[in-house]
Structure 1
């Protein structure tokens, strides 16, 4: 089965998700240990009302794996059981290494019983050894739109 979907953040404020031909929508919920997207709940409720499959993600910043996981969970409690959980692993935090990402994922799993996904670019996927993570967590590799047809853009 193939599903088409999108991930959105505050940059897509006001998006009409009932008009977007997506099977799933994954919303940015938090970043670091202090940022909560002001658009997240409205986007979540819009996607839910449109009958989309749901997900929420945390953008890691490197201020502490467990601290970031705690902050994320404290802000997505109402979505547990409905949405997949995702760690967005890009930018400067990547240099913190696989252990940081695994500590975040492990904490979320230990607290919820839900195995989150990890999202990263193809270059990050191939630049590090993810074997300690891939044994227990799903990997979502970014596909950026370009002029080459790849199906869903």
Structure 2
């Protein structure tokens, strides 16, 4: 059973009503928190509060760049606030040449694990993640980006936990969510019960 109840957002999506999104069946939100060593998404804190008021599951992701992974993780963890019930993720993708490198991603993952006791999700496309199939990174749950009829696993991963199947324009329907409009939507590889358990405990 695959549940289609997750969206992922950043400040680029300006009009967001999470009350209406919940009424439309959304249960969880992955939101950009930080990027690099200094950037903080200006909508993160306000939207987390709104999500928690609606009883939505909350997740935070960091957009990795070509800087020290440990320092990026510390910046991320400092800015997200209480992480005890927050699903964490590292976004690995093209960044104008200033891309995070596998060793930097490993340092990020290790620092998050040391601080929280949980491995973050790794987000990316099968094509881009092909160079990140290290023993450390492939232990992390996979959040795969593929705007097509089915997810495609990158080398090194045997399964996926989240699948970003549309950016709101490309990929299978549905693309839109009430209160938000066309947006990134994600499927969870399991039941609703398994989703809630994984989100809060990592198991």
TM-score by length of 2: 0.66
1:102-117 matches, cutoff 5 A? 102-117=106-121
Q: Is 1:56 the counterpart of 2:60 in the alignment?
A: yes
Instruction: Tell me, in whole angstroms, the C-alpha distance in 2 between the residues paired with 1:139 and 1:147.
Output: 21
Within the candidate set 65, 77, 82, 2:81 is matched to: 77
TM-superposed CA distance for 1:99, in Å, is 2.1
1:76-108 Cα offsets, whole Å, 9 max, x none, are 232x11211111111137854322211111111
Equivalent position of 2:150 in the other structure: none
Runs of 4+ with >6 A deviation: none
Equivalent position of 2:143 in the other structure: 140
Q: Is 1:17 the counterpart of 2:40 in the alignment?
A: no
Instruction: Tell me, in whole angstroms, the C-alpha distance in 2 between the residues paired with 1:29 and 1:51.
Output: 19
Q: Indicate the structure whose relative CO is greater, using CA pairs within 8 Å and at least 6 residues apart.
A: 2
List runs of 5+ in structure 1 lacking aligned partners.
Answer: none
TM-superposed CA distance for 1:18, in Å, is 1.6
Within the candidate set 91, 115, 127, 1:123 is matched to: 127
Q: Is 1:149 the counterpart of 2:153 in the alignment?
A: no
Instruction: Tell me, in whole angstroms, the C-alpha distance in 2 between the residues paired with 1:131 and 1:29.
Output: 25
TM-superposed CA distance for 1:111, in Å, is 1.6
The answer to whether the 8 A contact 2:33-2:79 is kept is yes
The answer to whether the 8 A contact 1:3-1:24 is kept is no
TM-superposed CA distance for 1:53, in Å, is 1.2
Equivalent position of 2:92 in the other structure: 89
The answer to whether the 8 A contact 1:3-1:23 is kept is no
Instruction: Identify, as 1 or 2, the structure richer in helix.
Output: 1
Q: Is 1:28 the counterpart of 2:32 in the alignment?
A: yes
TM-superposed CA distance for 1:130, in Å, is 1.5
